[in-house]
Amino acid sequence: MKPRPVLPRIDGITDLVELGVQVDRHLEEIGEFRPGEAWGDCATRVDAMDPALASWLRTADRRWDELIA
């Protein structure tokens, strides 16, 4: 199996657009991007095969909520 690319750092992102671009770009790069799918839903879908990706997506989802607030 081909190793997954390194997960991009998202903890320092303070712009919603930049966060969205980083996460969606990574999902597209690894073949997991589904237009309209929430990151949390994607995390649930990939959790069994890639727990690190699922955790990263949940972090991105929480970061999104923090930036909106």
pLDDT at 5: 83
pLDDT at 22: 96
* pLDDT > 70? residue 2: no
pLDDT at 3: 73
pLDDT in tens, 25-43: 999 999 999 999 999 999 9
Q: 31 or 2, which is more confident?
A: 31
Domain ranges of the chain: 16-68
Pure H helices in 1-69: 16-29, 39-46, 51-68
